[in-house]
Amino acid sequence: MQATRLIAIRHGETAWNVDTRIQGHLDIPLNDTGLWQARQLARALASEPLSAIYASDLQRAHATARAIAEATGAPLVPEPALRERSFGQLEGRTFAEIEAELPEQARRWRQRDPHFAPEGGETLVQLRERIAATTHRLAAQHTGGLVVLVAHGGVLDVLYRLATGQELQAPRTWQLANAAINRLLWTPEGLTLVGWADTQHLDMATRDETTA
């Protein structure tokens, strides 16, 4: 059977994650916690036999992926199609600001309207199509191998839904933790879930002089 093992990673923490500010395609760097998370993640994956690492070209994802590449020696390839959902005019705003300034858009977003696109942004349907096609394209190049995809919360949400058959409007009951390890199996028929939201490498680590 043709199959590719996938490790899907959400980038490390950024200041805008802490502020609940929408990042989308804006190029926000990792904060100190995010840089630490990337190093811990790299240590956890150092012995994995990776075929390749594909990362969103936004710096928060690319920096996370670069730490993995340095630890494993696997080739790192920028992949713009792994970017976060484009949120158009909502980018740069906090959740609270969107609720106050754009209540109708906030309502449609909160209700997960699959056909709602913020002005200048993407719908959930468009995001799902982009991520499904990109994952298929990348995984098909590495049949029998193990590939890391480093991306964003919205991308990871879509991957989980694709692997479990969840509809776009279904309430999210799974975690999308920064720098967690999420494992999937790809075949030409689609994705299946192997393991999700493994944060043991973060939970057990102590941020002292040896790990900071």
Strands 146-151 and 181-187: unpaired
Number of residues in the chain: 212
Chain-centroid distance of CA 187 in Å reads: 20
φ, ψ at 151 (rounded to 5°): -145, -135
**Which of 13, 84, 91, 122 is the catalytic position?**
84
How many other CB atoms are found less than 10 A from the CB of residue 212?
Answer: 11
Written as six digits, the tokens of 17 are: 């994650």
**Which of 11, 25, 62, 201 is the catalytic position?**
11
11: annotated active-site residue: yes
Strands 181-187 and 4-10: antiparallel
Write the single-letter amino acid at 165.
G
Catalytically active residues are 11, 84
